[in-house]
Amino acid sequence: MSTNLVLHQTHHTLADFDTIAVYLQENLKGNSLHLFPELFLTGYPLQDLCLQRAFIDAYSDHKTRIDQWLKSLSKNDKWRGLVPGLEYELETSGLPRKIENVVFEAIPGEGLKKLYTKRLLPNYDIFDEQKYFTPGNGNCFYDFHGSLIALHICEDMWGSSFHQLDPCDLMYREMKEKNLPVKMLINLSASPFDVTKKRKRMERARALSLKFKCPFLYLNRVGGEDEILFDGSSFIVSGQNDSLVMKSFERDVQTVELDKLQGRYDFEPVFHPENTWEGLFSPQLETKERPAELRSWSDDECEDVLQSLKFGLQEYARKSGFKKFLVALSGGLDSALVLAIVKLALNPGQEVEAVYMPSIHSASLSTQLCEDMCRRIKVPLRHLPIKFLHSTVKNTFTQTFPDKFEGLTDENVQSRLRGTLLYTRSNQTGAMVINTSNKSELAVGYSTQYGDSVGALSLLGDLYKTEVYRLARYVNARYGEPIPEGVIDRGPSAELRQNQLDQDSLPPYGRLDPMLEGILSYRYGKKELSGLGFTEEEIMKTLNLYLKSEYKRAQFCPILKIKAKSFGFGYRIPISKNLKYHF
Amino acid sequence: MSTNLVLHQTHHTLADFDTIAVYLQENLKGNSLHLFPELFLTGYPLQDLCLQRAFIDAYSDHKTRIDQWLKSLSKNDKWRGLVPGLEYELETSGLPRKIENVVFEAIPGEGLKKLYTKRLLPNYDIFDEQKYFTPGNGNCFYDFHGSLIALHICEDMWGSSFHQLDPCDLMYREMKEKNLPVKMLINLSASPFDVTKKRKRMERARALSLKFKCPFLYLNRVGGEDEILFDGSSFIVSGQNDSLVMKSFERDVQTVELDKLQGRYDFEPVFHPENTWEGLFSPQLETKERPAELRSWSDDECEDVLQSLKFGLQEYARKSGFKKFLVALSGGLDSALVLAIVKLALNPGQEVEAVYMPSIHSASLSTQLCEDMCRRIKVPLRHLPIKFLHSTVKNTFTQTFPDKFEGLTDENVQSRLRGTLLYTRSNQTGAMVINTSNKSELAVGYSTQYGDSVGALSLLGDLYKTEVYRLARYVNARYGEPIPEGVIDRGPSAELRQNQLDQDSLPPYGRLDPMLEGILSYRYGKKELSGLGFTEEEIMKTLNLYLKSEYKRAQFCPILKIKAKSFGFGYRIPISKNLKYHF
């Protein structure tokens, strides 16, 4: 009998138990082995949800329902399912004494049977699995009608010297000791996207495939959970060959015949230190070279980033019930790129509106560029000048507080008035306000709290300004030039005072961005930045701005995460601190 | 020779290495055993700071400096220090391969010697220790000039069935097996405050003291790290006796003679299930009774809460360099209590200003009450009416957007204008804006994002409205009635439309608050709340409001944590979700 594998790269909402159960009932059939991504039965990540009584009760009913359905089937059915989910052990009080992240075997006529418990529980950056789950301690060699499969879950493939645990190496040793005829490695994942992740996963899988001398099947879920994006992008590598590559950010189902996979295994496996737990835990600390410049994205990477941002936006909107979007357009690049992405992301029945709120300092060029852009992409543009409001606030305010009203005070009030007006419009129409900040700006606090930093979701909060330029040029080249060239060419400015330019307050972005990347991803301090050739003055300015602006990031909206290190849930630096100890 | 113990209940800033080293050099002397709290050498919690290269370098220099100083001393000195800190193992790349949370012995003439590695690493709620640290796997019986001490660190005393690890029980078994003459248990802690924590720590310590039949010494640090407050409150229990109780929220140093501690050990130890890892991990799930009402705080608890809020405010202000505070006073209770607490917290050289921003819907009673309060406590009150600004915004806005401008749209704009004006004043004076929201309001989203929810720090964000009443009455009784009775007696209102009362939108607080406590601390859903006697209508209204307002909490400022479960870093619920799956 041939061994058919069906890869279900699914896309379900967290805890959508009914839909998940129906999906299983409709799809488990034939003579195949059906594969599902990590925690298919619940969705991922659940965080504290997996401790809530209502969740535990509903999940228990859900599992029972599937189990009963399986028991009602004929034992003669040849198909099997590898169905990941949670396994609870409860105290009599209802307290979870133990929660495991497992794979169940779905057996017709028998039910759900626990096969394997995840051994390496990720607990760095955004991951909290050791908070909730208890690790397993055995390998799993699963026999499907005579084909032996080395089964494991997500992080198990990465190994950790920090945790002194490499589950794939333990599988390998057992395979060698017992001389097991393993025909395939299967990894069931819920692995978040970042712009380098596809490559890293495939490199690691290829190394393991060459080591085991059999194909490596990698199945990942699709979904967007606030800031965290799951891209799918499942694949099979057979040594040096790529046997299957599945869609990104889209549900996909593929069938393959195990025996027909053509592999080439006459190569030495290469395990790059970057592709390990530590590479993910302390991003890029192992990298030998110290780049003084940011690596520029390829067109493929730009396309991946664009798709991820569109997908993340739609996932948030879908689950929160938004059909309308609202973007404050300024005539600058960040808001223009955000508007272009939202427009490209729109589904039928959705709409986006742009609002332009010029102040006394806004150049007439800004007006022209906003109008030009909205004409190009056919988005309604509304003009709401804040000049009069700005002066009225100033007059009213100084009647009570005659102290000086200039500099930052005067700049911030314009930005906060815009925030207020934007949300007033959002209250009127029910539109979702899309934030327009970028990562450079967030890192140095170059924005006004409750002003231009408002929004339900940030699309560009994980892109440095130089990456905003790169993506804008890509979008223009690939998608019919939605952004007027004038927007890309003009010098960046907040337009909160006369002739203001970002460069008056910040190092040029070509210098600033690599310093920030050093600080965030390489965990560099003064010494290492100095070693890269940056001047004492640039370094101290950047570090000071960065360290002082933690309080702004702490109240920022969720940022779609497209890097190993973003300013989101996985970024954990104290807010209040004495700066002198932190260089 | 008598065995003197010196308990250094210290209060240092995170990573303030110079001060910490000097403290050791000045205080390690005599014939005593000097004790310091958990991670004394660095401070706690460090989060990602312990992965930054600058931190690792500076810490390494710091340890070397102390080590060298110790080596320079005479071997004849009789004192020893138990000095907790970090122990790193680094890869050649600078990547930490292993970080341990340890106790060093400071030995004159020899240096720092690692004695013990923490075994049970807390990883629930706000704790992330398994993200950073590798656990130890042995007990420590430390011999100080013939007195044997069972030494352990913080969480080790709580035990966990979830992690199948109870370090104190393992110590007990080894003690019994080897018949060790243990004279004292010493726990060196960095344990966050909550209103029940003093009692829980002491109950657990007493049970262990009775089990081991020797005194239990508990030493805790003092400090405020954003939302997390360390209260000190160190103590020694000798069976049923309390041998020492140290100050709360204040540095304190005490010396005791071990042999003079009078213990009473003729009682059975009582290990309450609430006082365990699980009790902390899934707060109160073990509790048998299901309270339909919140327990009212005792006067002692009110005083503890008041001290914790004053302390947390001052810690944040000190580290961020604020000397001025700014509170928006509304005539309602929350802002009045906040202002009273800030006033009580003021140090010499600090000042607080109140701003009253009435709108067209503000009652004249509100004005009178604000004036009365500020007269009582001698705080300058500034009047900044927003009537004219409100109508100007409305006129300007509706010129561009003629859609209806009423209901929430009209209410929120008043609140956001106030947020803007308050921060304009903060820009002018450099004052720290203190948030005035309470926990009930946060839980049901009864506030305006970027409006009344603004602020650098929330004092009342972990107090339900009924607890705000309780604390206000306590403050009034104990501290010369700063709050006019009229503020406490009037019905709560946001005053954003005519005759608005909280009770029009929410269940009465006496009903709402226990439901919220059930949801948050007991992880109750519809079923359990119904079992407490709440009506279907109340429950669904509360759950709906709670589930829909996650996005507001996600952008809220740090909340001083005074409960096991607060809306801060330890609260982890997805923002965007399909509500129907979450009851």
pLDDT band at residue A289 using 50, 70 and 90 as cut-offs: low
CB pairs under 8 A between A and B: 266
Q: How far apart are CA A437 and CA A467, in angstroms?
A: 13
Q: Considering chain B, what is the average pLDDT of its residues?
A: 94
Res B122: pLDDT: 94
Q: Is A227 a residue whose pLDDT tops 90?
A: yes
| Residue A527, SS3 per DSSP | helix
Name the closest residue on chain B to residue A570, using Cα atoms.
B48
- Check residues B444 and B523 and name the one with the higher pLDDT: B444
Which residues of B are less than 8 Å from A409 in CB distance? 424, 427-428
Q: Which is catalytic among the residues B63, B118, B198, B561? A: B118
Lowest-pLDDT choice from A168-177, A297-306, B283-292, B538-547: B283-292
Q: Cβ separation of B554 and A551 shorter than 8 Å?
A: no
- Put simply, whether B51 touches A (Cβ < 8 Å) is yes
Q: What is the pLDDT of residue A274?
A: 77
Enter the DSSP assignment of A490: S
Does the pLDDT value for residue A235 go beyond 90? yes
| pLDDT higher than threshold 70 for residue A489 | yes
Burial classification of residue A81, based on how many CB atoms lie within 10 Å of its CB (0-12 exposed, 13-18 middle, 19 or more buried): buried
- Find which of B420, B544, B550 to mutate to test the A interface (most A CBs within 10 Å of its CB): B420
pLDDT at A205 over 60: yes
CA distance A250 to A246: 9
B-facing residues of A in 552-581 (CB < 8 A) are 554-558, 571-578, 581
The type of residue at B95 is: L
Cis peptide before B45 (omega within 30 of 0): yes
Is the CB of B320 less than 8 angstroms away from the CB of A551? yes
φ and ψ at residue B484, rounded to 5 degrees = -55, 140
HSE at residue B525, side-chain half, CA atoms within 13 A, is: 17
Closest Cα in chain B, distance from residue A573 (Å): 6
Place of tokens 């990894």: A187
Across residues A93-105, what is the average pLDDT? 89
Nearest CB partner across the interface for A53, out of B58, B424, B523:
B523
* Cα Rg, chain A, nearest whole Å: 26
Maximum CA extent, chain A: 88
The verdict on B421 touching A (C-beta cutoff 8 Å) is: yes
The C-alpha of B206 sits at a distance from chain A's nearest C-alpha, in angstroms, of 25
Greatest mean pLDDT among A94-108, B180-194, B267-281 lies in: B180-194
pLDDT in tens, B5-35: 999 999 999 999 999 999 999 999 999 999 9
Q: How far is A519 from chain B (nearest CA, A)?
A: 9
Whether the Cβ atoms of residue B157 and residue B190 lie closer than 8 Å to each other: no
Give the pLDDT of residue B289. 61
Taking an 8 Å cut-off on Cβ atoms, the answer to whether B582 and A130 are in contact is no
Known catalytic membership, residue A38: yes
d(CA B238, CA A130): 36
Q: Is residue A365 within 8 Å of A373, Cβ to Cβ?
A: no
CB contact under 8 A, B575 and A226: yes
Nearest Cβ partner for A423 among B161, B412, B424: B412
pLDDT at A436: 98
Beta strands in B279-405 (DSSP E): 324-329, 351-356, 381-383
CB–CB contact B578 A13 (8 Å): yes
Q: For the residues A506-522, what does the mean pLDDT come to?
A: 94
In this prediction, residue A581 carries a pLDDT of 67
How far apart CA B30 and CA B51 sit, in angstroms, is 37
A22 membership: H or E segment, kind and range: helix A17-27
- Residues of chain A numbered 455-484 and touching chain B (CB < 8 Å): 456
Residue numbers in B near A390 (CB within 8 A): none
Residue B271, Cβ density class (10 Å: 0-12 exposed, 13-18 middle, ≥19 buried): middle
Residue A238 has φ and ψ, to the nearest 5°, of: -120, 85
Comparing A338-352, B8-22, B161-175, B449-463, which segment has the lowest mean pLDDT? Answer: B161-175
**Whether A206 contacts A245, CB under 8 Å:** no
Residue A288 has a pLDDT of 57
B88 touches chain A (CB under 8 A): no
| B464: number of Cβ within 10 Å | 24
Q: Does position A112 have pLDDT exceeding 80, yes or no?
A: yes
Catalytic status, residue A118: yes
Instruction: Grade residue B97 by pLDDT with cuts at 50, 70 and 90.
Output: confident
Pick the more confident residue, B390 or A524: B390
Check whether B338 has a pLDDT greater than 60: yes
Q: Do A413 and B401 touch (CB under 8 A)?
A: no
> What is the mean predicted confidence (pLDDT) over B122-137?
93
State both tokens at A340: 């272009």
Kindly report the nearest CA distance between residue B442 and chain A, in angstroms.
15
B68 contacts chain A (CB < 8 A) = no
Please report the pLDDT score of residue A545 as a whole number: 96
Mean pLDDT of A296-320: 97
User: Does B52 sit within 8 Å of A523, measured CB to CB?
Assistant: yes
Strand A96-107, strand A111-117: pairing: antiparallel
Q: What is the pLDDT of residue A286?
A: 53
Q: Is the pLDDT of residue A97 over 90?
A: no
Average pLDDT over residues A132-136: 95
Residues of chain A found within 8 Å of residue B135, distances taken between Cβ atoms? none
**B38 phi and psi, to 5 degrees?**
-45, 135
Instruction: Tell me the two tokens of residue A535.
Output: 């001047």
Contact A581 B424 (CB under 8 A): no
In this prediction, residue B256 carries a pLDDT of 97
**Under a CB-based contact definition with an 8 Å cutoff, are residues A86 and A50 in contact?**
yes
The answer, for A388 touching chain B at a CB cutoff of 8 Å, is yes
How high is the pLDDT of residue A283? 62
Q: How far is the alpha carbon of A394 from chain B, nearest alpha carbon, in Å? A: 10
Least Cα separation, residue B154 to chain A (angstroms): 18
Query: By three-state DSSP, how is residue B549 classified?
Result: coil
B69 touches chain A (CB under 8 A): no
- The DSSP code for A433 is E
Does residue A94 surpass a pLDDT of 90?
no
Q: What is the DSSP string of B405-452?
A: --THHHHHHHHHHHHHHHHHHHHHH-PEEEE---HHHHHHT-S-TTTT
**C-alpha to C-alpha distance for A329 and A430, rounded to whole angstroms:** 18
pLDDT of res. B44: 96
- Mean pLDDT (whole number) for B271-278: 79
Contact B424, B431 (CB under 8 A): no
- Report the C-alpha gap between A389 and B397 in whole angstroms: 10
pLDDT in tens, A41-65: 999 999 999 998 899 999 999 999 9
Decide if pLDDT at A357 tops 80. Answer: yes
Contacts of residue A300, defined as CB under 8 A and 6 or more positions apart, other chains included, come to none
Q: Count the Cβ atoms, other than its own, within 10 Å of residue B530.
A: 14
Upstream peptide bond of B348 is cis (omega within 30 degrees of 0): no
Would the pLDDT of A459 be above 70? yes
Interface test with B, best of A62, A95, A324 (most B CBs within 10 A): A95
pLDDT per position as a tens digit, A421-437:
999 999 999 999 999 99
- CA nearest neighbour of A302 among A474, A453, A521, A510: A474
Predicted confidence band at A267 (pLDDT cuts at 50, 70, 90)?
A: very high
**CA distances from residue B501 to B334, B470, B492, B494 in whole angstroms, order as listed:** 15, 20, 6, 7
Considering chain A, what is the average pLDDT of its residues?
94
Is the per-residue pLDDT at B293 higher than 90? no
**Where does the pLDDT of residue B194 fall: very low under 50, low under 70, confident under 90, or very high at 90 and above?**
very high
3-state secondary structure A349-367: CCEEEEEECCCCCCCHHHH
pLDDT at A96: 85
Using left for φ > 0, alpha for ψ between -120 and 50, and beta otherwise, residue A16 falls in beta
Q: Are A238 and A262 in contact (CB under 8 A)?
A: yes
B200 to A271, B58, B567: CA distances (angstroms): 49, 37, 22
Total length of chain B: 583
The two tokens of residue B234 are 């160190």
pLDDT in tens, B481-522: 999 999 999 988 888 888 888 888 899 999 999 999 999 988
Q: What is the pLDDT of residues B214-238, one digit of tens each?
A: 999 999 999 999 999 999 999 999 9
Contacts of A532 (CB under 8 A, 6+ apart): A290, A291, A292, A514, A515, A518, A524
CB under 8 Å to B375, separation ≥6 — which residues?
A: none
Whether the per-residue pLDDT at A285 is higher than 70: the answer is: no
Cα torsion B563, B567, B568, B570 to 10°: value is: 70
**Looking at chain A, how many residues does it have?**
583
- Active-site hit among A140, A154, A214, A557: A154
- The pLDDT assigned to A127 comes to 94
**With bands split at pLDDT 50, 70 and 90, how would you rate the model's confidence at B288?**
low
Question: Are A20 and A40 within 8 A, CB to CB?
Answer: yes
Give the model's pLDDT for residue B91.
Answer: 81
Structure confidence at residue A287 (pLDDT): 55
Write the residue in A388, A412, A578 that is nearest to B396 by C-beta.
Answer: A388
Partner B contacted by A277 (CB < 8 A): no
Judge whether B442 and B461 are in contact, CB under 8 Å.
yes
Tokens (6 digits) for B120: 């049970």
Minimal CA separation from B51 to chain A, in Å: 7
Q: Cβ contact (<8 Å) for B95 and A412?
A: no
Using CB atoms, pick whichever of B94, B320, B523 lies closest to residue A52: B523
pLDDT at A156: 97
Contact state of B401 with A409 under an 8 Å Cβ cutoff: no
3-state SS assignment for residue B246: coil
CA distance A401 to chain B (A): 8
Which among A98, A424, A528 has the least Cβ separation from residue B397? A424
Please confirm, yes or no, whether B118 is among the known catalytic residues: yes
- C-alpha B530/C-alpha B300 separation (Å) is 33
The CA–CA distances, whole Å, from A29 to A4, A83, A481, B467 equal 11, 14, 48, 58
| Catalytic-role residue among A50, A87, A100, A118 | A118
